[in-house]
Amino acid sequence: MKVTGLIVEYNPFHNGHLYHLQESRSSTNADIIICVMSGYFLQRGEPALVSRRTRTKMALAGGADIVVELPYAYSVQHASLFSRGAVAVLEAMGADTVVFGSEHGKITPFLELDSFLMDHQAQYESHIQSFVKQGMSYPRASSAAFSQLNPGHDLPDISQPNNILGYNYVKAIRELKAKIKPATIKRIGAGYHEKEKNSQSIASATGIRHELIEKQNHLEAVADTMPSSSFDQLKEDQDHQPDFFHWNLYYPFLQANLLTASPSRLRGIYEAEEGLENRFISQAKQHSSFTAFIEAVKTKRYTWTRLQRLATHILTDSDKELMLKVLQAHKLESIRLLGMNENGQKYLSLARKEMEIPLATKMNRKKGPQAVLDEKAALAYFLPLPPSKRIQRYKEEYSLPPVRFASKEDRFLSN
């Protein structure tokens, strides 16, 4: 049985994701597609547009066989740790191949890139530190340092976001000594960060969110960019919760934390470094929206994404000690099963007997550091809801069984 893994956020699941999923199944001749999906907060420090349960339904309706969660400790991280956690999950689930989308589109150059950077590691890191000292952000410094090494034209351009992730997936496989093999499919349609929607039916998730949140357009404005099943799920979600989740809804809670917590407490939050907590406190006293707040805090050295991740960790009260316990354990506590179809259920009935890491379907009463962080993220995610609904939605996320999808009947067997 051939098992292919995908590392996803599906924020939301759109036509480009459908293309990636279908091409991944076809190119690897996969019997099973496993998606490891970020939960409530995402790699760039953003809240997911809709809950993980809704996005799980989108994935299953789009052709995934199994959806599991990438723990919070890895989902809101820079590319290296994000990739390491996701690859570890897929390896534990028995995936043979991980397929990622990239601007480059061919896997051999990524393997060559990994070898090249290993051979030039000391020089590369030295260049990075030099550029950081000049005031560059880490991503810009990394790109500039790479150029300084004169890599040639055949290696992937690691200034491109999906190429960066692709390189880190390959690197994680090597460092973890994983059996899983990497493969890539060339991205088509809109660019990763492209905001404006055009006539293409394949838009970026960033562009879709821009239409729905910043432009405040109705769902119909993005209907042609996603499968009808995704559109239906968004519509159903909006019927129960009029506002999609986005940072401005969370800002009052972030602001309250910043204005009431002691500086020493904030210094203990993961990614609070070099006095950033003081900049956060200062600007929280002056700005009434998250966008204005981040714009005021942002510098050449600290990117919007870097600051959003810190803001997320403050919102979820994710302290350094707890986070480092997870990251330094070098082993997952458990893997949370979010959903499956009939094929996925058959695979799991066999695979879980061989798995060394427990497959969880509900919150464990004995929570280790990984589960504590996941629970904090879940509680924080529903803060923008009316008080009467916050705990209800949190309880539903953890008390309802994994989503089950009957592929042949095209319907969900659980809510």
- The response to whether 7 counts as a known ligand-binding position is yes
Cα separation, 103 vs 184, whole angstroms: 9
- The response to whether 188 counts as a known ligand-binding position is yes
Cα separation, 165 vs 160, whole angstroms: 9
Q: For CA atoms 35, 41, 45, 50, give the dihedral sign.
A: positive
- Number of Cβ within 10 Å of residue 117's Cβ equals 20
- The response to whether 12 counts as a known ligand-binding position is yes
DSSP letter assigned to residue 41: B
What's the longest Cα–Cα distance across the chain?
59
- The response to whether 17 counts as a known ligand-binding position is yes
The dihedrals phi and psi of 185, each to the nearest 5 degrees, come to -125, 135
For the record, the structure tokens of 165 come out as 């992730």
- The response to whether 8 counts as a known ligand-binding position is yes
- The response to whether 287 counts as a known ligand-binding position is no
- Reported as type and span, the H/E element at residue 3 is strand 3-8
- The response to whether 313 counts as a known ligand-binding position is no
- The response to whether 217 counts as a known ligand-binding position is no
- The response to whether 19 counts as a known ligand-binding position is yes
- The response to whether 244 counts as a known ligand-binding position is no
Alpha helices in 245-335 (DSSP H): 247-260, 263-267, 276-284, 290-297, 304-315, 320-329
Provide the residue count of the chain. 415
Selection from 314, 317, 233, 305 nearest residue 50 by Cα:
233
The amino acid at residue 369 is P
Q: Are 12 and 225 in contact (CB under 8 A)?
A: no
- The response to whether 9 counts as a known ligand-binding position is yes
Q: Are 68 and 93 in contact (CB under 8 A)?
A: yes
Is residue 397 helix, strand or coil?
Answer: helix
**Peptide linkage before 387 cis (omega within 30 of 0):** no
- The response to whether 193 counts as a known ligand-binding position is no
Cα separation, 56 vs 54, whole angstroms: 5
- Reported as type and span, the H/E element at residue 403 is strand 403-406
3-8 and 359-360 strand pairing: unpaired
Annotated binding site for ATP, which residues?
A: 7-20, 101, 162, 187-188
Annotated binding site: 7-20, 101, 162, 187-188
